[in-house]
Structure 1
Amino acid sequence: MTATHSDVGDAGGTTTHLAHIAQAGTIDTSHGVVLYVENLTVKFDAFRAINDLSLYIQEGELRCIIGPNGAGKTTLMDVITGKTGHRNASIEGQVFLGQTLDLLTMQEPQIAQMGIGRKFQKPSVFENQPVWENLYLADAGDRRWQVALRARMTADVRARIADTLTIMKLEEVAYRAAGELSHGQKQRLEIGMLLMQKPALLLLDEPVAGMTDRETAELADILQAIAGTCSIIVVEHDMGFVSTLAGDRGIVTVLAAGSVLAQGTMQQVQQDPDVIESYLGR
């Protein structure tokens, strides 16, 4: 890698403290880059899922990744989070978190502890527990049962729960069982649970699948609000949502056949002939 690369409380009313999301770990982002993917090739037997792919995610960046089915989007996220590694695939290239953390040498739990959170398409929450308790259970603190039996909720954790409820627009349902929430609310709750873990990098796989137009617009506002406090990669097929997220300046990466087909603003990639031909259509 090169050097370039109640119980919840009020907690201040409606004021949100986005700084609570910041990862307090030891990730070296002295060059402004939180994730380096360099010359990555991933093969499953004879099938090449990713082909010499390079990608750099800036600290605090909101990056959208689009592309047709089979483009390598999920495999890329699997490699970043350790779900796919040398034990179950042939991998060449480098994937670093910051300057020093080699993700290809780590297992999934280690990578999560280093500050990478991932949300899959289907929400996964503790449906019988209240919303606020879902956030508490997801807190980045020590959750071993021996510790949990003696633990009390600290003022800091209580404040972060209250802030996360506000950020995710879940204050009004804080005491409802998570299983009673709408699909969109469950999606926001799971993202909030990831935020409680203070991620440096958040990976979201098709987060608006199954959402109404109103819920989609609401989530776009939320992700734009938290962008900057952590880096976010969104893999999505909803082009309206991607366009809203990226705005006029955000970078959109288009993958095809395991490689970067195009990269630039949403307007630039929409006008790229190769992208039109292989993905967007004429």
Structure 2
Amino acid sequence: MITPAIEDRPQWADASAGQARAVTPGALDIAHGVILYLDEISVSFDGFKALNKLSLHIDVGELRCIIGPNGAGKTTMMDVITGKTRPDSGKAFFGQTLDLTRLKEPEIAHAGIGRKFQKPTVFEQHTVFENLELAMKMDKRVWRSLFYKLDSEARGRIETVMEQIRLTAQAHRLAGLLSHGQKQWLEIGMLLMQEPRLLLLDEPVAGMTDDETMRTAELFVSLAGQHSLVVVEHDMAFVEKLGGKVTVLHEGSVLAEGDLATVQADDRVIEVYLGR
């Protein structure tokens, strides 16, 4: 089990289970420098233990890579973080106070956790600009939406994100006409329009060209610091480009952790993952 330093432990760390409580989204407390805590999370499906007392923590502004063989628990871990799956036991907190196990999926998204799945999902009959506009974080009640008008501040926000994802030249191009890599970047941009504090990215460079993969690595490195990123990936060359800490999952728990060179040299990692 990986345990944060005493001064970094969240308010719930030493509390009894009965004292844990959900907190209204929006009250994110990251004063101790850690944005995500998973503490001994276990999840079983029909007797199969997808997560087995999984513990890890992600720092504010960190870019973390999660690797591991198929069935290691990577997807289930993200499902727990986003509220899609409830753990059988353990704690999952966003910042010091937001109990993810007590919040619904929309509440977790509103609190500041964005997730990108492997296959890009964009509005193909709308332009790049319109996709980003549709994804913008705003009051989307019917009455407000009917009379909504894009102001200069919102337009500036969209233009900034288009520049970040390198699609400014494609602003008025239909999303359905973009390359696979460009669709991936557009979906990442749509997540950024929601102003997330934590981004979960599932195999983001699958199917990309070498050039697109390099540009994606540059994008993620530029986003780190402004956002915390958790990247699940199998492409070791891409993981190397990202740098930073790597966590290896195996049979639902942490097998090894450290920089890429350290985990690649670990005999246990070679046996269960890299050696295959």
TM-score of the pair, normalised by structure 2:
0.91
Deviates more, 1:151-160 or 1:113-122: 151-160
Distance 2:247 2:26 in 1: 28
Deviation per residue, 1:190-244 (Å, 9 max, x gap): 0000000000100000000100001000100011011110100000001100111
**Corresponding residue of 1:167:** 164
Match of 1:263 among 251, 257, 276: 257
The corresponding residue for 2:45 is: 44
Q: Secondary structure at 1:240's aligned position in 2? A: helix
Partner of 2:81: 80
State yes or no: 1:178 paired with 2:175. yes
- Separation in structure 2 between the aligned mates of residue 122 and residue 280 of structure 1, nearest angstrom: 25
- Segment drifting more, 24-33 vs 188-197: 24-33
1:26, distance to aligned residue in structure 2 (A): 2.9
| Matched residue SS, 1:123 | coil
CA distance in 2, matches of 1:114, 1:193: 16
Q: Does 1:233 align with 2:230?
A: yes
How is 1:103-118 mapped onto 2 (pairs within 5 angstroms)? 103-118=100-115
Superposition deviation, residue 143 in structure 1: 1.9
- Give the Cα–Cα distance (whole angstroms) in 2 for the partners of residues 137 and 3 of structure 1: 41
Residue in structure 2 matched with residue 150 of structure 1 by the alignment = 147
C-alpha distance in structure 2 between counterparts of 1:156 and 1:68, whole Å:
44
Aligned positions, number: 257
Q: Secondary structure at the match of 1:136?
A: helix
Do structure 1's residue 187 and structure 2's residue 187 form an aligned pair? no
2: CA distance, partners of 1:280 / 1:162: 41
Identity of aligned residues (%): 58
- AA in 1 matched with 2:8: T
Separation in 1, partners of 2:208, 2:249: 24
**What's the offset of the Cα at 1:155?**
1.9
Q: Is the 8 A contact 2:65 2:247 kept in 1?
A: yes
Which secondary structure does the structure 1 equivalent of 2:205 belong to?
coil
**Partner amino acid, structure 2, of 1:170:** L
Structure 2 counterpart of 1:4: 8
For 2:94, the aligned partner's letter is L
- The whole-number CA distance in structure 2 between the counterparts of 1:244 and 1:195 is 22
Shift of 1:156: 1.7
Contact 1:66 1:254 in 2 (8 A): yes
> What residue in structure 1 maps to residue 14 of structure 2?
none
* AA matched with 2:50: A
Q: Secondary structure at the match of 2:160?
A: helix
Look up the equivalent residue of 1:277 and give its one-letter code.
E
Say whether the 8 Å CA contact 1:61–1:232 is kept in structure 2.
Answer: yes
User: What is the CA distance between 1:189 and its match in structure 2?
Assistant: 0.2
Other structure's SS at 1:277 match: helix
The residue type paired with residue 244 of structure 1 is K
| Alpha-carbon distance between aligned partners in 2 of 1:140 and 1:97, rounded to the nearest angstrom | 20
CA–CA distance in structure 1, aligned partners of residues 42 and 63 of structure 2: 24
CA contact (8 A) 1:236 1:242 kept: yes
1:202 is paired with a residue of what secondary structure?
Answer: strand
Q: TM-score, normalised by structure 1?
A: 0.89
User: Secondary structure in 1 aligned to 2:32?
Assistant: coil
In the aligned structure 2, how far is the partner of 1:91 from the partner of 1:194?
29
Match of 1:61 in 2: 62
CA distance in 1, matches of 2:7, 2:123: 42
Q: How far apart, CA to CA, are the structure 2 residues paired with 1:62 and 1:34? A: 12
Structure 1 stretch 190-199 or stretch 150-159: which is displaced more? 150-159
3-state SS of 2:29 partner:
coil
Output one character per residue of 1:240-272: Cα deviation in whole Å (capped at 9) or x when no partner: 0011112xxx10000000010000000100101
Alignment equivalent of 2:221, drawn from 219, 224, 227: 224
Matched residue type, 1:115: G
153-162 vs 214-223, which moves further? 153-162
- What displacement does 1:145 show? 2.8
Using the TM superposition, give the Cα deviation of residue 3 of structure 1 relative to its aligned residue in structure 2, in angstroms: 5.9
Structure 2's unaligned 5+ residue stretches are 10-24
Secondary structure at the counterpart of residue 234 of structure 1? strand
